[in-house]
Amino acid sequence: MAGTVIFHIDVNNAFLSFEAARRLKLDPTCLDLRTVPSIVGGDVTKRHGIVLAKSIPAKPFKIKTGEPVITAMKKCPALVNVPPDYNLYVEYSHALMDYLRGYAPVVEQFSIDEAFLDMTGTTSLYGDPVEFAHRLKDEIREKFGFTVNIGISENHLLAKMASDFEKPDKVHTLWKSEIKDKMWPLPIEDLLFVGKNTAKAFHNLGINTIGELANMDPALLSLHLQKGGMDAYNHANGEDVDFSFDKHAVNKSYSNSTTLPHNIEDAATAKEVLLSLTETIAARLRYDDMKVSVVSVTIRDPDFNDVSRQMSLYSSTNVTDELYAAICELFDKLWNKGPIRQLGVSGSKAEKNDNYQTNLFDDGRHEKLSKLDTALDKVRKKYGDDSVKRAVFLKNIETKE
């Protein structure tokens, strides 16, 4: 097959699947969390514990990602709640990405559980891309114990749209020649990057399906919705206008983000999410023996408007406490007190750097925190994330608003 071929790999129910795979690896006779109503969630004794992931059997109870754990437990008293284990997620993520790099000439990690693979020109190696995708997803299931969806197309946008079709453990194509039949009949809410408020604006214009948007007068869209309307119009017609895929880029940044269906409206909950994201990228940095000298925070509102800010650190670091303190400082300056749909954090200008530039007020704190993180990584890797807690972070979440 000639032309560009992009795979989008997406782990099904990643956090819950990673936990289930680990438990089954340790004890093949244990309960598979994916077969019962279950969640990955915060401590129910904490005021702001939220649901981070849910199983498919939890969906009939209308349990949603981002809602308070205590609310989810009321909906389903038999709900199984397991604590998050960020080191486990990083471990599985690294293992999966390393595995994919054994097959693909170019792998671009999109999030902790997603990646784009540029499979252009590999037909002579693996045969038909669709047939190979089926073999690849089956190999991943057998090797790691969790399933993935694989979307295939000429560009990132359509490949990601395809991977969101029927789940789990599926392969879907969405070539440009197929968008009229496969994508245009879908409701406008299913188009990538279209949120609740944007969808409402389209409905007010009489646009209810992706196909109706694709065939809309672009001048009218631009008049009513400006750039956002035109971007959505291009997406509906299969044009990739948001993703960049640098085949020569070196991984010099670490990022993670999460979208919550329920808007966040208080600083304490937002900072709990930021802590979760920071823990993940800090663990990845330490795993790679890397440090970053720049951190950034991105906030997306319900209308898909993004605001972001970055700051340079006094010295490059991979210490969770130092990264989290800077990220909270950025959040306090950036947030306008409005509802939050998505939060993202990143660390950039990553490099292997063993030199830490101390300041007059450090008093050995960096070295102590670095040793603490190393010790926590070892303990959590062996006994799980909930085996030890960072009391200073819990205090920050509860009191710093």
* Cα–Cα distance measured from residue 91 to residue 108, given in angstroms and rounded to the nearest whole number: 17
Domains observed in the chain: 1-173 (3.30.70.270), 184-236 (1.10.150.20), 253-399 (3.30.1490.100)
Residue 120, C-beta contacts closer than 8 angstroms, at least 6 positions apart: 3, 4, 5, 6, 105
The pTM of the full predicted model, rounded to 2 decimals, is 0.68
* Cα–Cα distance measured from residue 239 to residue 154, given in angstroms and rounded to the nearest whole number: 10
pLDDT by 10s per residue, the chain, length 401: 458 999 999 999 888 999 999 999 999 999 999 999 999 987 665 545 778 889 999 999 999 887 888 889 999 999 999 988 878 888 898 899 889 989 988 888 887 889 999 999 899 889 999 999 999 999 999 999 999 999 999 999 999 999 999 999 999 999 999 999 999 999 999 998 887 778 888 899 899 999 999 999 888 888 877 777 888 899 999 987 655 544 433 445 688 887 765 788 888 888 888 888 888 888 888 877 888 888 999 998 887 788 888 888 877 888 888 899 999 999 999 999 999 988 889 888 877 755 544 444 444 555 555 555 565 555 455 545 444 554 544 443 333 33
Residue 131, C-beta contacts closer than 8 angstroms, at least 6 positions apart: none
Q: How far is CA 7 from CA 10, 188, 235, in A?
A: 10, 23, 18
Which DSSP category does 80 fall into? E
142 is catalytic: no
Say if CB 342 and CB 257 are below 8 A apart: yes
Q: Which of 67, 108, 114, 279 is catalytic?
A: 114
Say if CB 23 and CB 60 are below 8 A apart: no
* Cα–Cα distance measured from residue 134 to residue 116, given in angstroms and rounded to the nearest whole number: 16
Nearest alpha-carbon partner for 281 in 346, 356, 376: 346
Find the DSSP H helices in 194-319. 196-204, 210-214, 218-236, 267-288
* Cα–Cα distance measured from residue 117 to residue 125, given in angstroms and rounded to the nearest whole number: 15
CA dihedral 310, 312, 318, 322 (to 10 degrees): -90
